[in-house]
Amino acid sequence: MEMVTKLRRWREQNNFTQVEAARLLGVSQPYLSLLENGARPLRRGLRDRLNVVLSVVRPDVGTGYTTDDRLRTQLSALGYPGFAHVQPARPAPEPAVVLLDALSQPTVDARVAEALPWLAREYARTIDWSWLVRQAKLRNLQNRLGFLIQLVNATGAGGPATKDARDALEKARLLAESTFCWDSMPGPTRKWMRERRSPEAEHWNVVSLMRSEGSNDGSKSAG
């Protein structure tokens, strides 16, 4: 019941109606009402979403277990080959939750950032893109997510849902410059990467050398 209590408190503190909160969580208003009243169990997938929406996903303080560690175990559980050697998280999380968690971080390990296009491509047909778009807008992450979706669409791995998501993000594109999860980038590096980024990265005002697979230079550098 603790998570349900946090859900109700979060909704009331933000002055969300049940309709508004349900839309953010990707559930119906009647279902949210049943959750808040304890009449429905909190299934794992929705619990994962709540952890992100309520901003309670944090590394364990004092254990040495970092955000990067958590993301590596989650990516391993979802089948990312680059982390096949990492003990996978159990149970496996929702891909959309992992994407939002990673994109919300100011800085992540470069190998984690490089895994995100794979994750978006691999699960492009099952990810709830409309939910991701709503969450990205709440966190001013629309440029990062828009850039990521454009990488996916360029490979032909997306579908109507990713195209609709990109169009929705295009209308909310931010003028402020962003990085692809590397806000601690040194100034000279930022300048160097800005001058060499792809047209897609420039369009989304993201400082990154990451490109879609099959691009001319084959660069996959994160930033």
- Tens digit of each residue's pLDDT (9 = 90 or more) over 52-70: 766 544 444 444 668 899 8
**Residue 187 domain flag:** no
182 DSSP assignment:
B
Number of domains present in the structure of the chain: 1
> Per the domain annotation, does 198 fall within a domain?
no
Question: Residue 44 domain-assigned?
Answer: yes
Q: For residue 172, is it within any domain?
A: no
49 in a domain, yes or no? Answer: yes
Where are the extended beta strands (E) located within 108-216? 178-179, 206-207
Q: What's the pTM?
A: 0.76
Angle formed by the axes of helices 129-138 and 95-104, nearest 10°: 20
Please check whether residue 106 lies inside any domain of the structure: no
Give the pLDDT confidence score for residue 83 in this predicted structure: 96
Domain that holds residue 48: 1-56
Find the CATH number of the domain harbouring 15.
1.10.260.40
pLDDT in tens, 185-208: 999 999 999 999 999 999 999 999
Name residues whose C-beta falls within 8 Å of residue 83's C-beta, 6 or more positions apart in sequence. 72, 73, 75, 76, 111, 115
In a domain, 65, yes or no: no
CB 151 within 8 A of CB 212: yes
Instruction: Look at residue 20 and tell me if it is in a domain.
Output: yes
Which of 12-21, 50-59, 82-91, 167-176 has the weakest average pLDDT?
A: 50-59
